[in-house]
Amino acid sequence: MSSGLRFDRVSVAYGGTTVLDSLDLTVEPGEVMALLGPSGSGKTTALRAVAGFVRPAAGRVFIGDRDVTGLPPHRRGIGMVVQQYALFPHMRVEDNVAFGLKAQKAPKDEIRGRVAEALEMTGMAAYARRHPRELSGGQQQRVAIARALAIRPGVLLLDEPLSALDARLRSGMLSELARLHRELPHVSILYVTHDQVEALTLADRIAVMDKARLQDVGTPRELYRAPRTEFTASFVGNANLLPVTVGSGGVDFSGTELKVPTRDAARGTTATLCVRPHLVGLGAGPNALTGSVIEVQWRGATHRLYIEVAGHRVMADLRELRQPPALGDEITVHFGPEDAVLLSAGVTPERSAPVAVRETVGAADQGSRDG
Ligand SMILES: Nc1ncnc2c1ncn2[C@@H]1O[C@H](COP(=O)(O)OP(=O)(O)OP(=O)(O)O)[C@@H](O)[C@H]1O
Ligand SMILES: [Mg+2]
């Protein structure tokens, strides 16, 4: 079944506080959409509105062409996996997986076949007779996924399904999920996470949420290479965000002229220049910045240098740095004109809050994705 999913100006409020504000978002049939955002931004609430566990104060939810806003959860044809497995502890694995099918009153033979199929897909066929307490965390999460898949949902909702697992297991399960999606190309997946690596790895598109609102939506590549806002720039990958004044054919950063595409930004306006740390190179070149080293972090494949330039911290991720500079050394770094993105001036006041340099975890190697 291929159906897709659509939020049509969906708002949710708790006790008068809006926690999801007019969400407009379409997940195409077979698409993996990641909902990425900080804690409390409304991601789980959006998912619960699709599943039918929370009733929108306004707006409609569509699955395929069907308006499901008023339907109870079990009639929406949705599979859902949450962070904490939530298996029934007293039921064997096979009965957990059969649960949704039994609720649908499917015939016995069909239930047996579908349970076997779902356990096979998730690599759990050998564990059918065990109880959840006899399984590891990763195995329990596979069973939870098998249970969600058993009803052959058109839409699969995953709410931080890997966050209870350790880093190694998480990476393995991430590959498993990618494989599952290849085997089920018609299933639309809405994948909630605050981990940008998961979002970049798995998603066809990413919807960036902050403060109950959708801030941005695009392919991982679009959001990484050409973010529209400071929030997206700093949340999807690491970013140097430099305050600049637009000139002709470039910008002024604290008295230094930088040649960067200014698009249609008006001369004399202030804006923010986004430069990814892995695109900053050592030594002189176009768009050179000179300052003193205030921190050096060794990260295995790279060194992250923090350089103070005209009162701002500039991050540079450098590969193959045999002799890292010492703290206090004066060094020059540079970046190519095409490697900087001028973020739209006139962003909303909320978004233009001072974010001189914001760091996000786990993104040290994301540059490699885009080459
Ligand atoms: N049942 C509830 N009653 C009252 N407030 C709620 C309820 N559920 C969620 N909220 C509030 O709604 C806001 C959004 O919560 P939500 O769970 O959607 O965030 P999230 O983006 O999933 O965050 P996290 O990454 O921490 O899971 C939060 O401020 C939260 O406190
Ligand atoms: Mg949540």
List pLDDT tens digits, range 241-290.
999 999 988 999 999 999 999 988 899 999 999 999 999 999 998 899 99
- Using the predicted structure, report yes or no on whether residue 332 has a pLDDT greater than 60: yes
Report, as an integer, the average pLDDT of 149-155: 90
In a 10 Å sphere around its CB, with 0-12 CB exposed, 13-18 middle and 19+ buried, how is residue 182 labelled? exposed
- Torsions phi, psi of 361, nearest 5? -80, 160
Q: What is the mean pLDDT of residues 323-327?
A: 93
Q: Give the number of other Cβ atoms within 10 Å of residue 192's Cβ.
A: 26
User: Closest Cα to residue 285, out of 321, 259, 263, 246?
Assistant: 259
pLDDT recorded at residue 240: 96
Give the number of C-alpha atoms closer than 13 A to the C-alpha of residue 146, restricted to the C-beta side.
Answer: 30
Q: Provide mean pLDDT across the span 114-138.
A: 92
Report whether residue 123 contacts ligand 1, using a CB cutoff of 6 Å: no
Asked whether 17 lines ligand 1 (CB < 6 A), one says: no
Minimum mean pLDDT among 29-38, 164-173, 237-246, 346-355: which range?
346-355
Q: Is a pLDDT exceeding 80 seen at residue 84?
A: no
Provide the residue count of the chain: 371
Residue 348's pLDDT is 36
For atom 29 of ligand 1, the residue with the nearest CA is 40
Locate 117 and state its tokens. 């199929």
Average pLDDT over residues 49-57: 95
**What pLDDT is attached to residue 196?**
87
Report residue 114's pLDDT band, with 50, 70 and 90 as the boundaries.
Answer: very high
159 Cα to the center of ligand 1, angstroms: 12
pLDDT at 85: 67
Atom of ligand 1 nearest to the CA of 192: 22
Q: Please tell me the predicted confidence (pLDDT) of residue 173.
A: 83
What does pLDDT average to over the chain? 88
Q: What is the pLDDT of residue 322?
A: 84
- Nearest-angstrom CA–CA distance, 61 and 284: 54
Ligand 1, closest atom to CA 45?
18
**pLDDT at residue 148 greater than cutoff 70:** yes
Q: Is the CB of 96 under 6 A from ligand 1?
A: no
Ligand minimally distant from the alpha carbon of residue 37: 1
Q: Which residues is 341 bridged to in the sheet?
A: 274
- Predicted local confidence at residue 88, as pLDDT: 93
Q: Beta strand pairing status for 251-253 and 239-246?
A: antiparallel
Predicted local confidence at residue 341, as pLDDT: 94
**pLDDT for the residue numbered 2:** 60
Would you place residue 345 in the very low, low, confident or very high pLDDT band (cuts 50, 70, 90)?
A: low
CA of 164 from ligand 1 middle (Å) equals 18
Q: Which ligand is nearest to the CA of 46?
A: 1
Average pLDDT of span 144-170: 88
More confident residue, 84 or 2: 84
Query: What pLDDT is recorded for position 354?
Result: 32
Residue 74: strand, helix, or coil: helix
pLDDT value, residue 364: 36
pLDDT band of residue 3 (cuts 50, 70, 90) is confident
What was the pLDDT predicted at 371? 31
Rg, Å, the chain Cα set? 24
Residue nearest to atom 5 of ligand 1 (CA): 14
Read off the pLDDT of each residue in 46-58 and give the average, rounded to a whole number: 96
| 11, 12, 14, 82, best to mutate for ligand 1 pocket (most atoms within 8 Å of CB) | 14
Question: Is 0.85 topped by the overall pTM?
Answer: no
pLDDT value, residue 362: 39
* Choice from 44, 157, 158, 160 to test ligand 1 binding pocket (greatest atom count within 8 A of CB): 44
Of 180-194, 241-255, 285-299, 332-346, the one with minimum mean pLDDT is 332-346
42 Cα to the center of ligand 1, angstroms: 6
Angstrom distance (rounded) from CA 342 to CA 359: 19
The pLDDT confidence band at residue 166, using thresholds 50, 70 and 90, is confident
Top-confidence residue, 85 or 141: 141
Q: Report how far apart, in Å, the C-alpha atoms of 144 and of each of 70, 77, 89, 184, 192 are.
A: 26, 16, 12, 17, 16
Neighbours of ion ligand 2 (CB under 5 A): 44
Q: Would you place residue 367 in the very low, low, confident or very high pLDDT band (cuts 50, 70, 90)? A: very low
